[in-house]
């Protein structure tokens, strides 16, 4: 048996089989009604149909938009299920009919929809989960405001409490997320032309949900989410292919601090650069175990704690590392975190320490690969 080989447990093997049999989930994600999610979903369905794939519509809501209705084209539509509720006949997606039809791909609009009482599942995403378990691929649509973790943020931005939400895990586990983007100005023009809602509702929309500030904030939330998903996919790819170099696809800043009170200057510099690049940043202290390293005094510990508090207040993640070589620990951590910029102060070592141990700054400059080093004077 080769070194590193490990036999899978029955549970692990079963989990792999389940993943192989499960359908794939693709989400067209938007930030507001009218950006073109349903249009994009139907457009992809037609392209797949022309390529010979078996594609059906499980549920589509065109809201009377002619351009969207035209995109249905030759796609087969699974008839909706009629449900009687308080003397009314309501129509919902027929999950059982979709599973019985077993297409290659099913298009399902409005993932966050709440089903009518008496339906098989309470929420549409639960219908989608069942369909995926039967090996059917699903393409669906979703607006950013329906994510559960963003519920309070959305209410703060828009003043609207969104009641239809889905667990973040649905998006986290999706195989593909496509941002359907449209500038707020273009979206507002569509709204004013009556392309989203009837003209009679335009003034009400403009004074509520469709305020330009709201749209800009929602759009940024959507773009950040999709960027995070891309970062995760890239990180997984790099791990799978054994890539340890830093790829400068997205800036990530590391600030290296010591108990020196002037390290606060470095932290503030890091915060400004992170804000400028709109990127993540971390603040790192290395607890050096080398016998020549000075021991921390109670005053040093108090100063470090104040540094950590400031870093957290400014939005950084804080890490304490331990090791014999400060430079080695910093470089190892930088590789793990895909750091692209390091901010560090001038060396504070004595001549004796520098003679025996060298300079952390010089070691970083020599050894760091594809990482910018910013050396900041303490004075």
* Cβ-based burial of 323 (10 A; exposed 0-12, middle 13-18, buried ≥19): middle
Q: Which residues contact 246 (CB under 8 A, 6 or more apart)?
A: 334, 335, 338, 339, 340, 369, 370, 371
pLDDT at 4: 47
Which residue, chain included where needed, has tokens 């009604």? 33
pLDDT tens for each residue of 348-371: 655 555 555 567 888 888 888 778
Helix (H, G, I), strand (E, B) or coil at 107: strand
Percent over 70 (pLDDT), the chain: 85
Q: Is 9 a residue whose pLDDT tops 90?
A: no
Which domains can be identified in the chain, with CATH numbers?
17-239 (3.40.50.300), 251-374 (3.40.50.620)
* Beta bridge mates, 284: 256, 319
Q: What's the per-residue H, E or C state across 323-345?
A: ECCHHHHHHHHHHHHCCCEEEEE
Which residue would you say has higher pLDDT here, 8 or 99?
99
Q: What is the pLDDT of residues 184-232, one digit of tens each?
A: 999 999 999 988 888 888 888 888 888 888 898 898 888 878 876 655 5
Distance, CA of 236 to CA of 92 (rounded, Å) = 38
Q: Predicted confidence band at 161 (pLDDT cuts at 50, 70, 90)?
A: confident
- CA end-to-end span of the chain, whole Å? 60
Poorest-confidence range of 8-22, 72-86, 134-148, 163-177?
8-22
| Structure confidence at residue 268 (pLDDT) | 92
């Amino acid at each position: 048996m080769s070194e590193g080989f490990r036999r899978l447990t029955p549970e692990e093997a079963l989990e792999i089989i389940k993943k192989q049999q499960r359908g794939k989930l693709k989400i067209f994600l938007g930030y507001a009604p009218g950006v073109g999610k349903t249009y994009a979903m139907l457009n992809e369905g037609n392209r797949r149909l022309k390529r010979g794939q078996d594609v059906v519509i499980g549920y589509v809501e065109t809201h009377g938009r002619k351009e969207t209705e035209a995109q249905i084209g030759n796609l087969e539509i699974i008839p909706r299920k009629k449900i009687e509720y308080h003397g009314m006949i309501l129509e919902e997606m027929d999950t059982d009919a979709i599973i019985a039809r077993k297409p290659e791909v099913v298009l399902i609009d409005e993932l966050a929809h709440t089903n009518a009482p008496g339906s098989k599942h309470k929420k549409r995403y639960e219908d989608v989960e069942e369909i995926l378990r039967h090996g059917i691929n699903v393409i669906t649509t979703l607006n950013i405001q329906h994510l559960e973790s963003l519920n309070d943020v959305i209410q703060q931005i828009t003043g609207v409490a969104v009641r239809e939400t889905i667990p973040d895990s649905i998006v986290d586990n999706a195989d593909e997320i496509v941002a359907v983007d449209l500038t707020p100005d273009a979206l507002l023009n569509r709204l004013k032309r009556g392309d989203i809602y009837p003209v009679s509702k335009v003034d009400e929309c403009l004074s509520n949900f469709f305020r330009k500030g709201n749209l800009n904030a929602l759009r940024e939330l959507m773009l950040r989410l999709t960027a995070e998903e891309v970062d995760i996919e890239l990180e997984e790819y790099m791990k799978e292919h054994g890539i340890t170099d830093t790829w400068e696809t997205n800036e990530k800043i590391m600030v290296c601090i010591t108990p020196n009170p002037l390290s606060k200057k470095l932290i503030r510099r890091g915060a400004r650069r992170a804000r400028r690049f709109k990127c993540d940043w971390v603040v790192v202290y290395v607890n050096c175990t080398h016998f020549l390293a000075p021991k921390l005094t109670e005053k040093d510990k108090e100063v470090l704690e104040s540094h950590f508090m400031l870093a957290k207040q400014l939005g950084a993640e804080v890490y304490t590392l331990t090791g014999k070589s400060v430079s080695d620990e910093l470089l190892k951590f930088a590789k793990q975190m895909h750091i692209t910029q390091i901010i560090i102060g001038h060396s504070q070592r004595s001549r004796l320490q520098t003679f025996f141990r060298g300079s952390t700054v010089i070691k970083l400059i020599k050894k760091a690969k594809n990482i910018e080093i910013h050396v900041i004077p303490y004075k």
